[in-house]
Chains A and B, each alone.
Chain A
């Protein structure tokens, strides 16, 4: 039994791809960058047990008709949020540490815009950037927004 009806799992696929990308960044940063990320969560509503941690979550999407093929091609324009968490609410908000982590995330995502070439989706822009408290995880940190586009052919039934 599948997780969704039909062959298109655009949102799951993109989440997995972004988390995978962030995990690669975590490995790359370890031992070479201070501050660095320790782990990545696939939801903002997560129990975070170590710092610094990143989390990825869905914000919303728009879709547009993009042409006709064997099916109807639809372009999905998705908004995702990537957060870096540096401590629990009540601990110091270390602006320098947070902005450095956000810089690392921004740089890595901007140099890996073709998330997974085989699945035909890519990052269009990494935008935003704010520092604050996140009630879903009871943490402090920073947040970036990532726009991802994916084209999907829906074969007509």
Chain B
């Protein structure tokens, strides 16, 4: 498999470390890379993180043998809550947990070629009291390198 594919797999595995037992505000129940409609979200356990890998990718450095890339992805979170106040609290906990994850994680621990994880922005993406779900987007920049053409 390509370096890019393995980084993707490594990140999805690593996000499962977001648990209250590891010092986070919330325990993530499920991680997926599939974007689902609001009605299909009921098939997942929440808090759910959907990793959206189709963001901008830029070549930062080319030294003739190695390439350094930035890869902007979105960690889209979904939480349940009984009411608006509950939803606000849970989504806030999810965002703070993701920020802590970005701050605390050693990138090379996720994958050898992943050398940087940077927080970019976060925002509330939706809040639906009828279905008792809310979502947030946390934009993250991954920095990784490839050697020998193993893209």
Contact = CB atoms under 8 A, between A and B. Distances in A.
Pair from one complex: yes
Interface of A: 43, 45-50, 87-88, 90-91, 136-138
B145 A91 contact: no
A49 B61 contact: no
Contacts of A137: 61, 68
10 contacts: A47-B63, A47-B68, A48-B68, A49-B113, A50-B108, A50-B115, A87-B116, A91-B116, A137-B61, A138-B70
Counting chain B CB atoms within 10 Å of each CB, the highest count among A48, A136, A138 belongs to A138
A138 B115 CA distance: 12
Contact of B143 (A43, A50, A88, A136): A88
Nearest to B64: A45
A43 B60 CA distance: 15
Contacts of A138: 60-61, 68, 70, 143
Q: Taking chain A's interface residues, is the majority helix, strand, or loop, or is none over half, making it mixed? A: loop
Interface residues of B, number: 16
B63 A49 contact: no
A49 B145 contact: yes
Contacts, number: 40
Q: Taking chain B's interface residues, is the majority helix, strand, or loop, or is none over half, making it mixed? A: strand
Interface of B: 60-61, 63, 65-68, 70, 108, 113, 115-116, 118, 141, 143, 145
A46 B116 contact: no
Given A90-B118, A138-B60, A47 B141 contact: no
A47 B118 contact: no
A50 B113 CA distance: 10
Counting chain B CB atoms within 10 Å of each CB, the highest count among A49, A88, A137 belongs to A49
Contacts of B115: 48-50, 88
B116 A47 contact: no
Nearest to B116: A88
- Which A-B residue pairs are the 8 nearest by beta carbons? A47-B66, A138-B60, A47-B68, A46-B63, A88-B116, A90-B118, A47-B145, A47-B61
